[in-house]
Every structure is written in C-alpha cells, then in structure tokens.
Amino acid sequence: MTTLATHGAATLPGFDLNPRDVLAAIRRRMPTPLVAPQLISASLHVATFAVSLLPSAAIAGMFILR
C-alpha cells in the first residue's frame, strides 16, 4: 500500500490508488460542458437591446419627474 510520503496523497482504503490519479481519470472521461453558440448570441442581442433602451428610459424618466 502506498503512503502519503511516497505519492504525495493519501490512498483509498483497500486500493492501491492515488486519489489524484482517480480524479484525473474521471476528469479525462467527463465530457466538456456544452455551450450553445445560439444561446450566447441570443443573450448578447438581448443585452444590446436592453442597453439601447437606456437613453429612451432616461428621457422618459426626466419627463415624468418634471
């Protein structure tokens, strides 16, 4: 059984595996997160539209407060 001194990390009980190696193997098998380009594009369009409404909202607010 390997020890903390030999591998730099504690071993799993009953196994001669380094937890770092186990996590690395899991990460290698995990798919990369999916990001839809359409979702990013749509969010940018919504944000641009919202920012473009700010001057109109400011002018309307000035008329309401006047």
Asked if residue 26 lies in contact with residue 37, where contact means CB atoms within 8 angstroms, the answer is no
Mean pLDDT of 9-27: 69
In whole angstroms, give the CA distance from residue 8 to residue 66.
70
Give me the residue label for tokens 């186990």.
22
Query: How far does CA 65 lie from the centroid of its chain?
Result: 42
First to last CA, the chain: 80
Ranges of each domain in the chain: 34-65
Average pLDDT over all residues of the chain? 76
Task: Look at residue 6 in the predicted model and tell me its pLDDT.
Answer: 52
